């Protein structure tokens, strides 16, 4: 099993940070979807989940929005909190704050390509100054007694592929795991994830066997994850957008990697129940109005996995209360159960 410093994970499948999406409610939903692995005492599911990127100064000020982003609870373990920025002292203090507020792993974001972050030299801009980045990492490692990890891209662009040199330098100062998204910053999310690039980082880390490399990018199925492990030699996989469409993908992947077989797929109705659970968890944590707004934003991610259900998107956009949401979903699920998922529930 995958281990990050002293933290032993129950699977080598990790939930990626996705700003605006991987909040506490979503993490709890994904964590709940598990299946026992036959003939073992293990359960297939999420190995580690991460908060979205947190601004260290905002965290230290306990700014309201950041407190929502950093919110966690006992069921949300093991949890990694991700920080971005460039000021070593502020990052170190924010890392201490993260540990005091529930993080058992702290991650430094070195991969965000968004201008708002890179213009202040944070996120993937850290790839452009590896020497300072290593010192920054060292400062954070020394500030906390939990493992500190780094999430990088291959490099800023094709002319500066720094992953294979930066990863071992980070390990030398105590970084406990490296996640590599197989694209450059310049690529943003264009093109496809480059497994050969991830393989080069894995190869460069061969003298650091205690520091796992986790591969990330474009995993949409358990088979994609297996291919990433086989082709690159990485020890774990991190899944982002695939989980927004199919929150059960982490369970399916962990099961497949452990057994070589796919678990019994969720029925159509069970998938709809996942979305209901997401809504109910949002209601509990954020209140009805926010839950309705957020589930409307999420329906375009859920919708493809719940097809055939024509009208689902429109239906969710029009519900005005939790009661209406539940009525709408219950009617749809009853129809699915009575006619089978092959027949479109056009009337809903």
Ligand X SMILES: Cc1cc2nc3c(=O)[nH]c(=O)nc-3n(C[C@H](O)[C@H](O)[C@H](O)COP(=O)(O)O)c2cc1C
Nearer to ligand X among residue 146 and residue 214 (C-beta)? 214
- Is the preceding peptide bond at 216 cis, omega within 30 degrees of 0? no
56 in contact with ligand X (CB under 6 A): no
Nearer to ligand X among residue 244 and residue 258 (C-beta)? 244
Task: Name the active-site residue from 55, 112, 193, 283.
Answer: 112
N residues, the chain = 348
The 4-43 site mask, x for binding ligand X (CB under 6 A), equals ------------xxxx------------------------
Q: Which of helix, strand or coil describes residue 149? A: strand
Asked whether 106 and 146 are in contact (CB, 8 A), the reply is yes
Token pair in block for residue 247: 């929150």
Binding-site member from 29, 46, 112, 140 for ligand X (CB under 6 A): 112
Nearer to ligand X among residue 150 and residue 292 (C-beta)? 150
112 is an active site residue = yes
53 in contact with ligand X (CB under 6 A): yes
Q: In terms of DSSP bridges, do strands 236-239 and 213-216 run parallel, antiparallel, or are they unpaired?
A: parallel
The 150-189 site mask, x for binding ligand X (CB under 6 A), equals -x-----------------------------x-------x
The 212-241 site mask, x for binding ligand X (CB under 6 A), equals ----xxxx-------------------xxx
Minimum gap (Å) between residue 324 Cβ and ligand X: 29
294 in contact with ligand X (CB under 6 A): no
Token pair in block for residue 117: 């972050």
Write out the catalytic residue numbers: 112
Residues binding ligand X (CB under 6 A):
16-19, 52-53, 82, 109, 111-112, 151, 181, 189, 216-219, 239-242
């Amino acid at each position: 099993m995958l281990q990050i410093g002293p933290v032993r994970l129950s699977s080598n499948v990790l939930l990626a940070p996705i700003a605006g999406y991987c909040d506490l409610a979503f993490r709890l939903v994904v964590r709940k979807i598990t299946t026992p692995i036959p003939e073992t005492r293990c359960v297939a599911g999420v190995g580690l989940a991460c908060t979205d990127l947190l601004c260290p100064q905002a965290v230290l000020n306990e700014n309201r929005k950041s407190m929502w982003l950093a919110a966690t609870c006992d069921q949300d373990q093991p949890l990694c909190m991700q920080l971005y920025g460039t000021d070593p002292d502020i990052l170190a203090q924010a890392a201490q704050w993260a540990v005091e507020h529930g993080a058992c792993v702290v991650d430094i974001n070195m991969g965000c390509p968004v201008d708002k972050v890179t213009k202040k030299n944070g996120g993937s801009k850290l790839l452009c100054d590896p020497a300072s980045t290593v010192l920054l990492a060292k400062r954070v490692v020394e500030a906390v007694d939990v493992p500190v990890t780094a999430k990088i891209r291959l490099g800023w662009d094709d002319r500066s592929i720094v992953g294979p040199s930066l990863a071992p330098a980070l390990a030398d100062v105590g970084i406990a795991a490296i996640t590599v998204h197989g694209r450059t910053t310049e690529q943003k999310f264009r093109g496809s994830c480059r497994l050969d690039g991830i393989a080069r980082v894995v190869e460069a880390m061969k003298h650091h066997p205690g520091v796992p490399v986790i591969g990330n990018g474009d995993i949409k199925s358990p088979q994609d994850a297996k291919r990433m492990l086989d082709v690159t030699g990485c020890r774990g996989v991190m899944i982002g957008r695939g989980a927004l469409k199919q929150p059960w993908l982490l369970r399916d992947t962990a099961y497949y990697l452990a057994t070589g077989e796919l678990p019994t797929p969720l029925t159509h109705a069970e998938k709809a129940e996942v979305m209901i659970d997401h809504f109910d968890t949002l209601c509990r944590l954020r209140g009805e109005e926010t839950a309705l707004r957020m589930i409307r934003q999420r329906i375009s991610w859920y919708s493809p996995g719940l097809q055939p259900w024509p009208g689902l998107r429109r239906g969710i956009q029009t519900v005005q209360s939790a009661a209406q949401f539940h009525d709408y979903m219950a009617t749809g699920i009853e129809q699915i159960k009575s006619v089978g998922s092959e027949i479109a529930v056009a009337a809903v």
